[in-house]
C-alpha cells in the first residue's frame, strides 16, 4: 500500500505505549486503518481529533499488514469540542462511519456527504441548519451498504404522487390514501428526505425517527450495538434545541 490522500479522522484507538490505530475516511480508498506513531503525544493529539481534515500518507509492505501513517493537519474542528451539540453530532457521525463501513472499499459519495455535513455543523448557527443533512447522511450510508429505502413510488399503487409514509418492514414509501388505514403503524416521510430543501424541527424529528429505525434494525447490531445509545443522546439534544 502506498496512499497519499486527504482524509477525515473518524476514530482513534490507543495502541502500544505512545501510538494509536486511526481510522480515516478517504475520498478514493474508503475507510483506512493505520498506525500513527506518537499519536498520544502533545503534537499529534490536536491533529487526530474526529472530524478533523488531514493529509495522510499511508504505507504498508503488504495488503494484509496494518499500514503506518504520517498525518498532517489541514483543517481543525477541535474548537467545537466545547460546544456540546455540535461536538456530539461530530462524534456520532464519525463513529458511525468508522464502525459501519468495511475497510478499503471506496465510498466517494459518502466521503463527499460526510465532508459537507461536518462543514455545515461547523458553520451553521444552530442544529436547524445541519440536522436535516445528518438524516440524509444516515440514509445515504444505509443505501451504500445495501439497506437503502425505496422512496420513489408507492409500495401499493406504484404511483409517485403524495408519498407521505414509509413501511417500517419493507422500507418502501406509501401514498397518503394508502397510508390512512395504517395511521400510527407507518413511519412519517418528511418532504426534505425526498426533495431536499428546508426542514422544520418537526420534519427533522420525523426524519431522525425514520433513519433511526433502519439504522437500529440493519446497522447498529452486534459489535456496534452500543452506538445506538450515543445516537439517542444526540437526538434528545437536537429535539431539545428545537423545543420538541
- Cα separations (Å) of 144 from 38, 119, 134, 150, 153? 34, 21, 15, 13, 20
Dist CA 21 CA 36 (whole Å): 6
Tens-digit pLDDT profile for residues 183-231: 889 999 999 999 989 999 999 999 999 999 999 999 999 888 889 999 9
Mean pLDDT of 122-140: 97
pLDDT bucket at 18, cuts 50 / 70 / 90? confident
Backbone angles phi, psi at 36, to 5 degrees: -115, 115
Dist CA 73 CA 212 (whole Å): 32
Contact yes or no for 103/30 (Cβ under 8 A): yes
pLDDT at 93 over 80: yes
Angle, CA of 131, 132 and 136, to the nearest 5°:
115
**What was the pLDDT predicted at 130?**
97
Share of the chain above pLDDT 90, in %: 87
pLDDT at 167 over 90: yes
Tens-digit pLDDT profile for residues 134-159: 999 999 999 999 999 999 999 999 99
| Mean pLDDT, the chain, integer | 95
Phi-psi region of 153 (alpha: psi -120 to 50; beta: other; left: phi over 0): beta
**What was the pLDDT predicted at 209?**
98
Burial class for 93, CB neighbours closer than 10 Å (0-12, 13-18, 19+): buried
Dist CA 125 CA 195 (whole Å): 23
**What was the pLDDT predicted at 3?**
94
**What was the pLDDT predicted at 242?**
95
Dist CA 212 CA 31 (whole Å): 22
- Residue 2 CB neighbours (<10 A): 8
Q: Which residues pair with 35 in a beta bridge?
A: 21, 68
Amino acid at each position: 500500500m502506498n496512499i497519499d490522500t486527504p482524509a477525515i479522522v473518524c476514530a482513534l484507538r490507543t495502541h502500544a505505549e505512545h501510538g494509536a490505530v486511526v481510522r480515516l475516511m478517504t475520498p478514493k480508498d474508503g475507510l483506512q486503518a493505520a498506525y500513527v506513531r506518537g499519536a498520544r503525544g502533545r503534537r499529534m493529539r490536536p491533529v487526530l481529533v474526529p472530524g478533523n481534515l488531514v493529509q495522510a500518507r499511508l504505507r504498508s509492505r503488504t495488503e494484509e499488514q496494518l499500514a503506518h501513517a504520517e498525518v498532517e493537519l489541514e483543517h481543525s474542528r477541535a474548537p467545537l469540542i466545547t460546544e456540546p451539540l455540535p461536538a456530539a453530532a461530530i462524534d456520532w457521525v464519525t463513529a458511525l462511519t468508522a464502525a459501519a463501513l468495511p475497510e478499503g472499499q471506496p465510498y466517494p459519495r459518502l466521503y463527499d456527504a460526510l465532508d459537507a455535513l461536518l462543514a455545515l455543523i461547523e458553520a451553521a448557527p444552530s442544529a436547524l441548519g445541519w440536522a436535516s443533512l445528518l438524516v440524509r447522511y444516515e440514509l445515504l450510508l444505509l443505501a451504500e451498504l445495501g439497506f437503502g429505502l425505496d422512496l420513489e413510488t408507492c409500495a401499493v399503487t406504484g404511483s409517485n404522487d403524495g408519498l407521505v409514509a414509509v413501511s417500517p418492514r419493507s422500507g418502501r414509501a406509501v401514498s397518503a390514501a394508502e397510508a390512512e388505514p395504517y395511521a400510527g403503524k407507518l413511519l412519517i416521510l418528511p418532504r426534505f428526505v425526498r426533495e431536499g430543501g428546508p426542514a422544520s424541527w418537526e420534519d427533522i424529528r420525523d426524519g431522525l425517527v425514520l433513519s433511526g429505525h433502519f439504522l437500529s434494525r440493519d446497522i447498529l447490531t452486534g459489535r456496534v450495538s452500543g452506538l445506538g445509545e450515543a445516537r439517542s443522546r444526540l437526538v434528545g439534544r437536537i429535539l431539545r434545541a428545537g423545543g420538541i
